[in-house]
């Protein structure tokens, strides 16, 4: 059933003369409703539901798996913790545009309710679970951005008008809101059409369903004291075997009843059935499913506390590879989506949004010192360039903090041997 429309509207003009009545969104964020489990309305709904393992998988049940939760948390916190700056292009490169209104919004506080860390962590979590991240863009009368608010992906639909203009339909508390393209920051993940991303959870539901099934099996196994099945044998015929079984389970079943002394009557005996090999190997299955989930999110296993194959020699290399191969693509998605949606038309060539990854790629202290020494003596970095990367106070210009120096042993190849030619000529003249 179509949701009821709010009373207040403004008219949006699209190309071709079409006019849409769009609800005013002034009350959209006055109440922060808790998320609803409406994944059946998701564009990837046909991927969800029961799996061969018998477990139902969606974005929220998947988070009950420790490996999924750990991967989402690692990626979200990493993206949220990276410094995010707005730069102004200059003739010699770029400089921080701290006077631009977007600098404070992206670096510190996108809205009065959130810090930049929480805002980006929320968007990244939506990307990893739903494959899309949305935020409403609040603009002033001149079109400048004055606020950014996250929107839940499972309440959003993306469509086109007959003239081909994109619009976003958002549902909240029984109301439907239409948002123009200029009012939405949309960061799509991997997709079929380049417009709406598909959920990694939906695409990998079988692997996640198996992880949920093994966790449930382990819980039931330990609820039975991690012991195989028991058979009670009686030499005669029992009139009420269910009563004896229930009595046994009540007294001896469960880890809290372990090591109790069993008392048998009427010649009864206990026979323990051996554990099938496939049940005995369920821990190995759980380890494999952790690796499967790490593969889905491209997260090194050691970052989710799986150190089975980690060594002191390869953890640093894996961490750097994690930044290069996992974080950098996500950063590029954020940067380009923000660049496209937040700047006004004339600003896009003058300003840019950039995450700072240098701090995550520095390595250990000895490696950083060797790197800085090479960059410094070759005139590539100044003292202040190095100190900024190390989060240290800058050296004033009058003390040479911004000077670029080179090793005195270096000379231009064109000048190599010039002094010998000079002295040889002076000797000839004499």
Total number of domains constituting the chain: 3
CA distances from 177 to 6, 195, 304 (A): 8, 20, 39
Contact 342, 107 (CB under 8 A): no
Average pLDDT, the chain: 76
Which of 329, 361, 393 is the endpoint of a domain? 361
One domain for residues 125 and 245: no
pLDDT (0 to 100) of residue 20: 47
Of the candidate ranges 71-75, 162-166, 380-384, the one whose mean pLDDT is the lowest: 162-166
Higher pLDDT, 213 or 27: 213
Beta bridge partners of 49: 57
Among 52-66, 219-233, 252-266, name the most confident range.
52-66
Distance CA 43, CA 188 (A): 13
pLDDT (0 to 100) of residue 15: 43
One domain for residues 334 and 402: no
pLDDT (0 to 100) of residue 50: 55
Average pLDDT of 141-168? Answer: 90
User: Which residue carries 């951005």 as its tokens?
Assistant: 145
One domain for residues 149 and 297: yes
One domain for residues 123 and 170: yes
One domain for residues 50 and 178: yes
Distance CA 381, CA 375 (A): 6
Helix, strand or coil, per DSSP, at residue 46: helix
Confidence of residue 411 (pLDDT cuts 50, 70, 90): low
One domain for residues 100 and 242: no
* pLDDT reading at 80 higher than 80: yes
Q: How many CA atoms lie within 13 A of 334 on its CB side?
A: 27
Contact 299, 74 (CB under 8 A): yes
One domain for residues 396 and 383: yes
One domain for residues 93 and 204: yes
One domain for residues 83 and 152: yes
- The H-or-E segment that residue 60 falls in is helix 59-62
pLDDT per position as a tens digit, 17-37: 444 444 444 445 443 333 333
pLDDT per position as a tens digit, 246-260: 776 665 565 555 555
Q: The domain containing residue 369 runs over which residues?
A: 365-430
Helix, strand or coil, per DSSP, at residue 214: helix
One domain for residues 281 and 408: no
Q: What is the DSSP letter of 111?
A: B
Pair of tokens at residue 280: 């005995």
Pair of tokens at residue 27: 């009350």
Percent of the chain with pLDDT over 90: 26
For 203-225, give the DSSP string.
HTHHHHHHHHHHHHHHHHHHHTT
One domain for residues 127 and 50: yes
* pLDDT reading at 337 higher than 50: yes
pLDDT (0 to 100) of residue 354: 93
One domain for residues 24 and 143: yes
Average pLDDT of 336-341? Answer: 95
């Amino acid at each position: 059933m179509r949701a009821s429309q709010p009373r207040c509207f403004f008219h949006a003009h699209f190309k071709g003369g079409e006019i849409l009545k769009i609800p005013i969104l002034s009350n959209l964020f006055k109440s922060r409703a808790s998320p609803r489990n409406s994944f059946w309305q998701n564009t990837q709904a046909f991927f969800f539901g029961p799996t061969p393992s018998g477990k139902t998988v969606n974005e929220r049940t998947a988070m009950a798996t420790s490996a999924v939760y750990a991967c989402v948390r690692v990626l979200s916190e990493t993206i949220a913790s990276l410094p995010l700056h707005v730069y102004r292009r200059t003739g010699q490169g770029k400089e921080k545009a701290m006077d631009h209104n977007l600098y404070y919004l992206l670096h510190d506080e996108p809205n009065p309710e959130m810090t930049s860390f929480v805002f980006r962590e929320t968007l990244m979590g939506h990307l990893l679970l739903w494959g899309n991240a949305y935020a409403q863009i609040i603009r002033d009368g001149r079109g400048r951005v004055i606020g950014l608010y996250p929107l839940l992906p499972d309440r959003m639909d993306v469509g086109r008008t007959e003239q081909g203009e994109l619009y976003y339909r958002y549902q909240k508390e029984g109301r439907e809101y239409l948002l123009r393209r200029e009012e939405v920051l949309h960061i799509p993940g991997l997709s079929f059409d380049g417009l709406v991303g598909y959920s990694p959870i939906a695409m990998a539901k079988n692997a996640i369903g198996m992880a949920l099934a093994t966790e449930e099996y382990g819980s039931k196994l330990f609820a039975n004291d991690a012991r195989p099945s028991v058979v009670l044998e009686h030499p005669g015929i029992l009139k009420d075997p269910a009563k004896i079984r229930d009595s046994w389970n009540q007294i001896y079943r469960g880890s809290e009843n372990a090591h109790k002394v069993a008392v048998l009557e009427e010649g009864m005996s206990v026979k323990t059935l051996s554990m099938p090999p496939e049940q005995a190997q369920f821990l190995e299955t759980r380890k494999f499913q952790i690796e499967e989930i790490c593969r889905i999110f491209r997260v090194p296993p050691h970052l989710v506390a799986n150190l089975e194959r980690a060594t002191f020699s390869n953890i640093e290399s894996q961490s750097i590879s994690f930044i290069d191969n996992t974080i950098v693509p996500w950063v590029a998605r954020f940067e380009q989506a923000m660049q496209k949606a937040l700047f006004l038309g004339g600003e896009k060539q003058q300003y840019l949004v950039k995450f700072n990854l240098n701090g995550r790629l520095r390595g250990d202290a000895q490696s950083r010192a060797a790197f800085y020494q090479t960059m410094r003596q070759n005139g590539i970095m100044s003292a202040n360039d190095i100190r900024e990367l190390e989060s240290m106070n800058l050296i004033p210009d009058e003390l040479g903090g911004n000077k670029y120096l080179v090793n005195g042993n270096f000379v231009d190849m064109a000048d190599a041997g010039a002094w010998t030619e000079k002295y040889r000529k002076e000797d000839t003249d004499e």
